[in-house]
Structure 1
Amino acid sequence: MDHYLDIRLRPDPDFVAIDLLSALVSKLHRALARLADGKVGISFPDSKAMYLGDRLRLHGGLSSLQSLMGSDWLKGMRDHVQLSEPVAVPVGAKHRVVKRVQAKSSPERLRRRQIKRHGMTPQQAQEKVPDSAAETLSLPYLLLRSASTGQRFPLFVEHGPLLEAAVPGSFSSYGLSDVATVPWF
């Protein structure tokens, strides 16, 4: 994680920034899934409260970033973004985990799971998992479309606390990790 590059969304009268950012992260996800090496992380340096901002930052080694950017993953998005070149991370930068958080938001799904895994009757599952069990998150999110089911789903993003030292690890095909940190500056 010694280099980074920024991808900034250009203002567009036809699209809201969050829709463009969601499309950009969807394309990045497909590219990172193809690479399958877990060496590129992401962050949203302009994130505030429920807004992820209009800039996506990619973190990784210089060769990993060059390899990713050498592929054609930005096809169809180049008119909507402004790219920086990969540059070295500033000396003394702090670090933080940027991870995906999933809400247990569907009581019906939780009930089906209770029935299947614990042999409960529908009535027992209803009593154990009431409608009020739905969890809501107060985190910014992207709306993505599942490649397997075609359904749209929210990908909630949480920026963890600032840390003095980097924590190594690998990143998912979304560029997120529960343990590995990215530089923050």
Structure 2
Amino acid sequence: MNQLTSKLHSLLFVTSKPLTVKQLVKFANATEAEVVTALEELSQFCKDSGVVLLHSGSQYQLATNSNNSDTVTDFLNSDLREQLTEATAEVLAIIAYRQPITKVEIESIRGVNSQYSIRALLMRGLIEKVSNPSDARSSMYQVTTEFLQQLGVTSINDLPSFEELTSSIKLPEAPAIQDNSVTENSSESQQADI
């Protein structure tokens, strides 16, 4: 592998989003023709490995080999479940089903400060800040493609609907409230008869 191919491999490895040929030309300090040739070499290098080079139009990205998708999905799903606290998982579910949503709205739903959970989710790359069209001073949150990848879905629409999830949950019934007014009136009338 030549030095330029090695540089491109490193650039594509450290980013979670696709890079264009123009971006690679700029950061690798090479010509477009050199970058295209190096990308072809990188594609051949990765072909039979656990990581492959994907390209769509002029965009390139490293991704796990589809032959290993079951193993990777199992690992990521278990990793996601093991490392999220209950509060953080709750915030993530709220964001997934109500996105885009503000911090104030999240905290209104939960009834507690959610800053720590939001920060943890941002650091893990599961949610991202987006601009709030109605208030430039505040941000909104939505899930990322990383979140979708870890769940093994391609779109937020692939998640079960909120109604589907909650339809199987039986809420506990509230205990019956005894109406003491009937009992008190009966005692009073009995005492009046005496």
Superposition TM-score tier, normalisation by shorter sequence: under 0.3
Q: Under a length normalisation based on structure 1, what TM-score does the superposition of the two structures give?
A: 0.24
Name the structure with the higher helix share.
2
Structure of greater relative contact order (alpha carbons < 8 Å, 6+ residues apart): 1
Over alpha carbons, which structure has the higher Rg? 2
Q: Higher strand proportion, which one? A: 1
